[in-house]
Structure 1
Amino acid sequence: MNSLRTRLLVAAALIVVAFGSLTGLILERSFQNAMLQAQQDKMQTLVYSLLGAASTNAFGELTIALEAVPDPRLRQPLSGLEAALFDDEGVIVWSSADFLRLRPPASPEVGEWRFERLADPNAFALSFGLRWIDSADDPRRYTIVVLEDANAWDRQLGTFRRTLWFWLGATLAALTLALLLLLRWGLKPLRQLGSELQRIERGEQQQIQGHYPQEIQPLARDLNTMITAERNQQTRYRNALGDLAHTLKTPLAVLRGMTAQSGLDEGFRCQLGEQIDRMQHIVDHQLRRAAAAGTRTLTEPVALRSLCDKLLTAIVKVYADKRLQVDNAVPEHLRLRADQGDLYDLLGNLIDNAAKYGNGQLRVSALSGSRQCLIVVEDDGAGFPPQAEHLLQRGARADERQPGQGLGLAAVADIVRAYGGRLLLDRSPLGGAKVIVALPLR
């Protein structure tokens, strides 16, 4: 559910299905109630017709002549329509052709209608209580009952249900498809914006160039402003640092020249030279630290293997006397979204240390997970001493016999911190040092 389109589509589909199901239930219930009311009205009309054809016989009892029955189905056996007349004791005094011998119904009050659905048999029953006054002014209590088979009614309702849900389902499917197309059309500017951002990250274009709706246009404009400002800021940083390095180069050169003058005490000359060298290395270190780009937005991914190949080829030439055996185990497909200059400094320092302090065997490997990328540089040298974390501080060195100022690991630590990563010092299976750099993926 991380996709905006999926969220909108699922929410719209749930609303459509809920609305369609509720609409279908309401229509089905309304149609069923209308059919029940129509059935009751039809049977009431038949009762009125039967009462219109009623008369008394010689014994003063109410009867209905079959030839006067308005509906011919009452004269036909197994027609599905039956009627009967019960006296106040529940005895049938008249019935149609084949009235079922049912239990006497509960007698409704005079003038009261009772409509119900019988389970056995499957039929509708309508009862009506009445009082008949004969010619002798003798009122008698009767109940007229009409039964009609419900199978035809069930078939009609079933046909309506199938038709209703078929067309309603087809309508809901068509509506869902229309919503899908509508969402696809509505979210097209966002997909286009995402594609442009990916092209900017790959270095295929410099800014967002598309024309977007007024709701998205401010976002595209602000992104262009942010991209331009970041690039300008990075350029200003690099230019300012270059100017600073150039400005400090002359005073340091003058001081170094002064140490070569005659007349200076040899001890003072050595001490002054050491301080000048120290100042030079401090300036170089701070320039590298300040120039570290850190985590930047919309940067092109860097292929780590090709970068490592270049560094390893150069280091083999620099330390040709050691006859280095290098192993580049970085996967071909692995790319890291970071500044290429930062990666050069980071890997260059680690590979240089491994070649300098190792005994000839050097290995670089990398592994990419879901959240971070691990870069591992190993050698077969003496390895790190216990409590090696102090080596990450500026000027700290593990082997004083080797030339250097102890700024390599400190510079690497600064770059790693700028990217929000971690730097671990460990023991390698090769027998020497193992440096693990964990950089978060974006």
Structure 2
Amino acid sequence: MSSLRARLLVAASVVLTAFFLLTAAVLDSAFRDSTLQAQRDKLEGLVYSLLAAARTNADGDLTVASDDISDRRLMQPASGLQAALFDEQGLLAWTSTDFLEMPAPPVPEVGQWLFEQRDQPSTFALSYGLRWIDLEDDPKRYTFVVIEDATSFNRQLQTYRRELWFWLAAAAAGLLLVQYLVLRWGLAPLRKLIAELQAIEKGQRGEIQTEYPDELQPLAQGLNAMIRSERNQQNRYRHALGDLAHSLKTPMAVLRGIGEESRIPEDLRPALRDQLMLMQQITDYQLRKAATAGRRTLAEPVAPRPIAEKIADALLKVYADQPIRFAFEAPPSFRLRADSGDLFEMLGNLLDNACKYGASRISVRFGQQGASNFIRIDDDGPGFPEEAYELLRRGVRADTQKPGQGIGLAAVYEIIKAYEGRIELGRSEAGGARVAIWLPV
């Protein structure tokens, strides 16, 4: 699971479910055992009352005087309570009213009790073994059996279980709700931190400003330190490169002046000028490459269409002698998480190439597809030659008749690599060149 809150909720729910199931099993077992014990105690008391009513008949056999029985249900038909007395041969010596025919019960030892719960029919049975000594001092073996219908016990157990599960389920639902609210309250600082980071990405604030709990405060301070370090490092790089470019201007200007002096042979001047121009272009390219910001985690998204339109306006003036028309297409809210300087460099090179090698119409489209943003530039010129991807290497040119040093596409490719993107060179619908750039969202 990607959600921390979902993980905590699921883990706590599993623990709560296991706890309530175990609690329900323990309570159910305890209630059943206590109810069974109460049932046994009740039947034992009935056996003692039957012993109190036991008498010896004229034949010297043991029987029970019905008038002395304390529980009158034994004398009522269909009362759910029955009793019987078996002799040592397993024959009935006495029965209560409406006693069910049954085989002789298990014979417990003298003075021992045997308690059973029977399923068919659902009843409780308690047997007690005794030895009766008559007046002639002749001991005889007997077994008292008391049977009671278990319908009331089963109904009571079902009612208890129904109530138990209802209240346990209600308690579980209440605890889960409380747990959800506690988790929501406990994770609120994380949501606030995420909101601040999103505000930084959108450029609405410069760093994390809220005070957070002790566990999150080091993280917030570390993120602020990372943001400041990244910005300061980028500024230092650009300032250093700017100083380097400024330092190179004077030596280059001196060399150009020397190249125009009369003591330099006329046939060497064009070669000297070309080499100085090449040095200038290579220096500019390397400076631009080193100054590329690259993909930044907390960078403010930039709208690329206004940048492309601004570059197009400038190129229309440069190529005023060509009937060039630009067409732009981009969603209203489309943004790229990139440095505006890098976008100027990249779009400037691509649009300049499109103007240089295209015929009249240049299409620029921005959009998103899957997990990538794309920039697609089409023209209606002659298109790329075979082995088009060789043009991504510095110094390789498609047309040696046009001015340039063949480093435009190479510079674009370096910027794209810095953003972990990719570039595709193909043919447009108009038959010209198509450059498609894919950058991570």
Which of the five TM-score ranges fits, normalised by the shorter chain?
Answer: over 0.9
**Structure 2 unaligned regions, length at least 5:** none
Bigger mean CA offset, 224-233 vs 359-368: 359-368
Superposed displacement of residue 311, structure 1: 3.2
SS at match of 1:336: coil
**Corresponding residue for 2:182?**
182
Within-5 A mapping of 1:78-93: 78-93=78-93
Q: Equivalent residue for 1:241?
A: 241
Does residue 395 in structure 1 map to residue 395 in structure 2?
A: yes
CA deviation digits over 1:71-106, x for unaligned, max 9? 222222222211111122322211112211223323
Q: 5 Å matches for 1:305-320?
A: 305-320=305-320
Residues 310 and 91 of structure 1, relative CA distance in 2, 3 Å threshold: farther
**Aligned twin of 2:352:** 352
Which residue of structure 1 aligns with residue 11 of structure 2? Answer: 11
Task: Check conservation: 1:350, 1:408, Cα contact below 8 A.
Answer: yes
Q: Which residue of 2 aligns with 1:126?
A: 126
Q: What is the CA distance between 1:36 and its match in structure 2?
A: 1.1
Superposition misfits of 4+ residues, deviation over 4 angstroms: none
**Residue in 1 that maps onto 2:381:** 381
Asked if 2 retains the 8 angstrom alpha-carbon contact of 1:392 and 1:413, the reply is yes
Q: CA deviation at 1:370?
A: 3.7
- Aligned partner of 1:191: which letter? R
Counterpart of 1:110 in 2: which secondary structure?
Answer: coil
Partner of 1:76: 76
**For residue 342 of structure 2, what is the aligned residue in structure 1?**
342
For the residue of structure 2 that corresponds to 1:55, the secondary structure is strand
The normalised TM-score by structure 1 is 0.96
The aligned runs of 1:162-181 (5 Å cut-off) are 162-181=162-181
Q: Distance in 1 between matches of 2:319 and 2:49?
A: 119
> Residue 67 of structure 1 aligns with which residue?
67
* Structure-2 residue corresponding to 1:295: 295
> Structure 1 residue 366: deviation in Å?
3.5
- Measure the CA separation in 1 of the matches of 2:48 and 2:169: 43
Matching residue's letter, 2:394: R
Residues 312 and 66 of structure 1: CA distance in aligned 2, closer, same or farther (over 3 Å):
farther
Contact 1:305 1:332 in 2 (8 A): no
Quote how far apart the aligned CAs of 1:139 are.
Answer: 2.1
Counterparts in 2 of 1:126-275, with a 5 A limit? 126-275=126-275
Gap change, CA 1:68 and 1:317, over 3 Å in 2:
farther
Residue pair 1:305, 1:331 contacting (<8 A) in 2 also: no
The question of 1:277 aligning with 2:277 is answered: yes
- Identity, in percent, stands at 55
* Paired residue total: 441
Deviates most, 232-241 or 103-112: 103-112
Amino acid at match of 1:197: L
**Which residue matches 2:434?**
434
SS at match of 1:145: strand
Q: Is 1:48–2:55 an aligned residue pair? A: no
2:29 is equivalent to residue 34 of structure 1: no
Deviation at 1:165, TM superposition (A): 1.2
Give CA deviations for 1:236-286 in whole Å, capped at 9, x if unaligned: 111111111111111111111111212321121111111110111011101
Structure 2 residue 47 is matched with structure 1 residue 24: no
Secondary structure of the equivalent of 1:335? coil
Task: Report SS of the residue matched to 2:22.
Answer: helix
Which amino acid in 2 is paired with 1:61? D
Tell me the CA shift for residue 182 of structure 1. 0.9
Distance 2:431 2:224 in 1: 51
One-letter amino acid of the counterpart of residue 351, structure 1: L
Q: Quote how far apart the aligned CAs of 1:18 are.
A: 1.6
C-alpha separation between the residues in 2 aligned to 1:306 and 1:10? Answer: 48
Provide the rounded CA distance (Å) in 1 between the counterparts of 2:307 and 2:23.
Answer: 64
> 3-state SS of the aligned residue for 1:354?
helix
Q: Which amino acid aligns with 1:283?
A: T
The amino acid that maps onto 2:210 is G
Q: Residue 320 of structure 1: SS of its match in structure 2?
A: coil
Q: Secondary structure of the equivalent of 2:396?
A: coil
> Structure 2 vs 1, CA of residues 312 and 86 (structure 1 numbering), >3 Å: closer, same or farther?
farther
Compute the displacement of 1:432 (Å): 1.5
Specify the SS of the correspondent of 1:401.
Answer: coil
Distance 2:302 2:255 in 1: 41
Provide the C-alpha distance between the structure 2 equivalents of 1:29 and 1:256, rounded to a whole number of angstroms. Answer: 102
Whole-angstrom distance in 2 between the partners of 1:220 and 1:238: 27
**1:18 counterpart SS class:** helix
**1:425 maps to what in 2?**
425
How far the C-alpha of 1:199 sits from its partner, in A, is: 0.9
Moved more, 287-296 or 420-429: 420-429
1: distance between equivalents of 2:357 and 2:418? 26
User: 1:142 and 1:315, CA in 2 relative to 1: closer, same or farther beyond 3 A?
Assistant: farther
Question: 1:78, 1:98 within 8 Å by CA — same for their partners in 2?
Answer: yes
TM-score computed with the length of structure 2 as normaliser: 0.96
Deviation at 1:137, TM superposition (A): 2.1
Q: Please give the alpha-carbon distance, in whole angstroms, between the structure 2 residues aligned to 1:350 and 1:380.
A: 14
Gaps of 5+ in 1: none
User: Distance between the aligned counterparts of 1:168 and 1:192, measured in 2?
Assistant: 36
SS of residue matched to 2:206: coil
Corresponding position: 1:363 with 2:363? yes
User: What is the CA-CA distance between 1:58 and the residue it aligns to?
Assistant: 0.8
Distance 1:402 1:281 in 2: 16
Aligned mates of 2:61, 2:370 — CA distance in 1: 95
User: Residue 224 of structure 2 aligns to which amino acid in structure 1?
Assistant: N
Taking only aligned residues, the RMSD between alpha carbons, in angstroms, comes to: 1.6
Q: Which segment is superposed worse, 102-111 or 408-417?
A: 102-111
Structure 2: distance between partners of 1:127 and 1:306: 99
1:381, distance to aligned residue in structure 2 (A): 1.4
Secondary structure of 2:111 counterpart:
coil
1:350-377 alpha-carbon deviations (Å, 9 max, x no partner): 1221121111122222342343223222
Cα distance in 1 between the residues matched to 2:317 and 2:64: 124
